[in-house]
């Protein structure tokens, strides 16, 4: 396989931008109309994701060892979408049609053979990972909402019961799909440690114009059916560490950190833990009473709320004013601690920057990026 030629060809095709996924999906849905039902009504997000994945795959096509873990993860991820082995054949045909279309007269038999071989390798790795996973885990977990509490205009706390127990570690997340917003999968973090009754708590905040977050906050009721993917994520407790902990949560970024706090409550000798919980206004401190109750029960836990955009009637509110990062840094120094941070991309970047500037090694900071552009 001439990997240099594949890379050059893909770089050339990629210059056509959005046209590439447009042609690919038009061809796929013509070839196999039944496959359309696996995808959400709006394909805008998917277009970028597919090209993003192909860019990643082609970039590493000659470093297969690095590629394999990614492809295995992707194959596993595709089980919940309903992708089966036969679909990979059709997707491969549409991919080759698309590449040939944009390569034009320079498309050769050799190039076609190389692409076929590369795709076969990718598809086999994904299919095999999915097959192996299928031996021990369901493709998704059916679940239903048992309680739905609207804590503010844009935030709800949900208790969810999976039909089958869903294994996870505190701090992890699962992809969620709702019967009310079919085939739109988004990640949400469990806000509790595993419980005997198997219940999962989720904290969801509406993103402006968001499809699933709006459905989960506004239209979900006890009884609403959900589907959940397997637990993923590395914002989990470093159980080898004896250091004290600082946690910084922006809005519903609190969820995975609260799960870790719950895990610590069960440990024999929990580290001193300072949890900073920030929101724009006091409305956004949707879980403060519960956190304060926990802090009152456990002397190793301190909870410090902060609001960045206080309203006229906020001054009496018992929260610090300012960005959660400023407030957290003000209460340092933290260089001898471990840090756990969750919230928007901008918040995480700023917190990591400030903590490392204060002497904390990057390796002691664990983060989960919810991806929002604002807190």
Ligand X SMILES: Cc1cc2nc3c(=O)[nH]c(=O)nc-3n(C[C@H](O)[C@H](O)[C@H](O)COP(=O)(O)OP(=O)(O)OC[C@H]3O[C@@H](n4cnc5c(N)ncnc54)[C@H](O)[C@@H]3O)c2cc1C
Q: Which chain residues interact with ligand HEM by CB under 6 A? A: 35, 38-40, 45-46, 49-50, 53, 74, 77-78, 81, 83, 87-88, 91, 122-123, 185
**Number of C-beta neighbours around residue 291 at 10 A:** 21
Burial class from Cβ neighbours inside 10 Å (0-12, 13-18, 19+) for residue 160 reads buried
d(Cα 347, Cα 252) in Å, to the nearest integer? 13
Which option in ligand HEM, ligand X, none does residue 192 bind, with CB closer than 5 to 8 A by kind?
none
> Which pair of structure tokens corresponds to residue 125?
């790795």
Closest CB 357 distance from ligand HEM, rounded Å:
34
Among 128-136, 222-230, 328-336, 363-371, the segment contacting ligand X (CB under 6 A): 363-371
Cis peptide leading into residue 184 (ω within 30°):
no
Structure tokens at 47: 């277009």
From the list ligand X, ligand HEM, none, which binds 205 (C-beta under 5 to 8 Å, kind-based)?
Answer: ligand X
Measure the CA–CA gap between 326 and 306, rounded to whole angstroms. 10
Q: Which residues of 258-280 are buried (b: 16+ CB within 10 A; e: fewer)?
A: bbbbbbbeeeeebbebbbbbbbb
Of 102, 119, 188, 286, the one binding ligand X (CB under 6 A) is 188
Angle at 374 between CA 316 and CA 245, to 5 degrees: 70
- How many chain residues bind ligand X (CB under 6 A)? 25
Residue 203 interacting partner from ligand X, ligand HEM, none (CB closer than 5 to 8 Å by kind) = ligand X
Q: Is 220 in the site for ligand X (CB under 6 A)?
A: no
DSSP code for 233: -
- C-alpha 365 chain-centroid distance: 18
Site map (CB under 6 A) of ligand X, residues 229-258, x = contact: ----x------------------x--x---
- Between CA 366 and CA 234 the distance in angstroms is 8
Rounded to an integer, what distance in angstroms lies between the CA atom of residue 218 and that of residue 304? Answer: 29
Task: Judge contact between 237 and 260, C-beta under 8 A.
Answer: yes
Q: Smallest gap, in angstroms, from Cβ of residue 141 to ligand X?
A: 17
Q: State the nearest-atom distance from the C-beta of 112 to ligand HEM, in Å.
A: 17
**Binds 211: which of ligand HEM, ligand X, none (CB < 5-8 Å by kind):** ligand X
Q: In angstroms, give the least distance from the CB of 342 to ligand X.
A: 8
Smaller CB separation from ligand HEM, 46 or 335: 46
Nearest distance in Å: CB 160, ligand X:
12
Strand pairing class (245-250; 273-279)? parallel
Partner from ligand X, ligand HEM, none binding residue 370, C-beta < 5-8 Å depending on class: ligand X
What is the rounded CA–CA span in Å between residue 247 and residue 258?
10
Q: How far is the CB of 111 from ligand HEM (least distance, A)?
A: 18
For residue 225, what are the CA distances in angstroms to 167, 219, 229, 265, 298? 19, 12, 14, 31, 36
Question: What minimum distance in Å lies between the beta carbon of 116 and ligand HEM?
Answer: 13
Question: What is the token pair recorded at 186?
Answer: 């988004």
Among 143, 193, 200, 207, binds ligand X (CB under 6 A): 207
Beta bridge partners of 338: 245
Q: Does 340 bind ligand X (CB under 6 A)?
A: no
Map the footprint of ligand X across residues 156-185, applying CB under 6 A.
173, 184
Shortest separation between residue 21's beta carbon and ligand HEM, angstroms: 11
The residues that touch ligand X, with contacts defined as CB under 6 A, are: 45, 173, 184, 186-189, 203-205, 207, 209-214, 233, 252, 255, 368, 370-373
């Amino acid at each position: 396989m001439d990997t240099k030629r594949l890379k050059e060809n893909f770089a050339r095709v990629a210059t056509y931008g959005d046209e590439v996924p447009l042609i690919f999906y038009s061809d796929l849905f013509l070839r196999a109309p039944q496959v359309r039902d696996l995808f959400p009504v709006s394909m805008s997000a998917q277009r970028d994701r597919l090209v993003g994945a192909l860019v990643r795959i082609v970039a590493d096509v000659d470093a297969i060892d690095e590629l394999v873990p990614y492809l295995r993860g992707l194959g596993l991820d595709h089980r919940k979408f309903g992708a089966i082995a036969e679909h990979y054949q059709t997707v491969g045909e549409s991919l080759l049609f698309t590449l040939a279309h944009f390569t034009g007269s320079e498309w050769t038999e050799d190039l076609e053979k190389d692409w076929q071989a590369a795709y076969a390798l990718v598809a086999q790795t994904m299919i095999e990972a999915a097959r192996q996973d299928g031996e021990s885990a369901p493709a998704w977990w059916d679940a239903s909402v048992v309680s739905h509490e609207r804590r503010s205009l844009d935030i709800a706390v949900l208790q969810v019961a999976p039909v089958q127990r869903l294994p996870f570690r505190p701090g992890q997340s699962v992809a969620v799909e709702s019967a009310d917003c079919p085939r739109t999968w988004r990640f949400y973090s469990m806000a509790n440690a595993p419980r005997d009754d198997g219940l999962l708590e989720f904290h969801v905040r509406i993103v402006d114009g968001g499809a699933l977050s709006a459905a989960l906050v506004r239209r979900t009721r006890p009884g609403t059916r959900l589907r959940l993917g397997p637990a993923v994520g590395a914002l989990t407790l470093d159980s080898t560490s004896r250091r004290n902990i600082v946690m910084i949560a922006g809005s519903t970024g609190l969820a995975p950190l609260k799960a870790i706090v719950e895990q610590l409550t069960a440990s024999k000798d929990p580290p001193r833990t300072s949890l900073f919980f920030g929101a724009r206004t006091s409305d956004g401190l949707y879980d403060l009473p519960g956190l304060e109750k926990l802090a009152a029960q456990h002397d190793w836990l301190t909870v410090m709320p902060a609001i960045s955009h206080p309203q006229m009637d906020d001054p009496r509110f018992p929260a610090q004013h300012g960005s959660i990062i400023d407030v957290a840094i003000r209460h340092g120094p933290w260089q001898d601690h471990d840090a756990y941070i969750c919230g928007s991309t901008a918040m995480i970047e700023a917190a990591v920057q400030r903590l490392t500037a204060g002497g904390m090694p990057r390796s002691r900071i664990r983060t989960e990026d919810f991806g929002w552009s604002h807190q």
